[in-house]
Amino acid sequence: MRKKKDNDPVLEDYERLQSEIIRDKVNEIFRTHPRDHIAEMEKLGFAYCEDETNEEEREERNAQPVNQRQRDLVAYFEGRKPLSEEIFAGYSQEKAAEQPNYPLIRKYYKAANKHLKSLLLYGLDNYPGRIDLLSDLAFFHEFENSLTLLITHYTRACIEQGNLETFTELAKDFYYSTSPDGFEAYQALRELFGPETAKRKIIDSLIADEEEGAGESSRPLES
């Protein structure tokens, strides 16, 4: 006589619930600890294994410019060309290309290239609402501390943004880009907008969602 059925519905429901809880925990870690997610996952009992060959690093070592736009960008990043609207346009076009040479550009991010930083700040000074440039500056921040600049430019973009849907995405990006550094972007934005304004209501809603999510993530896993 078998002790239990192969397809025990109670057991299946329990295992599915456990999987959902673990998945939610992992998602929460990637959302709130983008730069130290490995350490946080290890706290949950996950083991981190790194491939012997780092594919990204190999791609970056081998990356070469393959057209004039990329050659101009490399010349700029290496200090052989001055910053100009043409160089900035080339950077924007490269990112929007059908097959952008990401490894070529990425290695300058990882080197915290000062010319790349100047290009990003030039773009944000002239186009303060561009979310892609803000995200690029947030990525650069991973390799050189640029928290003050991030706060300044995200704040300006949020103040000037008139489209409420875009404003919501900006506020979320602002929060997730700076929360690993301990900055409370939602609270900072909340102080900028009056209680009855649409932007204040959006921020209050985002704060409530975040507090609810934090409460759920703090619940212990059932054994």
List the chain pLDDT tens, one digit each, 223 residues. Answer: 444 445 555 555 555 555 656 666 666 665 666 556 566 666 666 655 555 448 888 999 999 999 999 999 999 999 999 999 999 999 999 999 999 999 999 999 999 999 999 999 999 999 999 999 999 999 999 999 999 999 999 999 999 999 999 999 999 999 999 999 999 999 999 999 999 999 999 999 999 998 887 665 555 555 4
3-state SS track over 146-158: CHHHHHHHHHHHH
Is there a domain that residue 33 lies in? Answer: no
Alpha-carbon torsion (113, 114, 115, 119), positive or negative: positive
Q: Do residues 150 and 198 share a domain?
A: yes
How far is it, in rounded angstroms, from Cα 149 to Cα 128?
Answer: 12
Q: Which residues of 113-142 are buried (b: 16+ CB within 10 A; e: fewer)?
A: bebbbebbbbbbeeebbeeebbebbbebbe
Q: Given 73, 106, 126, which residue is the final one in a domain?
A: 126
Residue 12 lies in a domain: no
Residue 185 in domain: yes
- Domain total of the chain: 2
Cα 40 to Cα 8, 30, 48, 152, 217, distances in angstroms: 33, 9, 11, 29, 13
Q: Which domain holds residue 110?
A: 55-126
Evaluate whether residue 50 is within a structural domain: no
- Residue where a domain terminates, one of 96, 126, 156: 126
Radius of gyration of the chain from Cα atoms?
A: 22
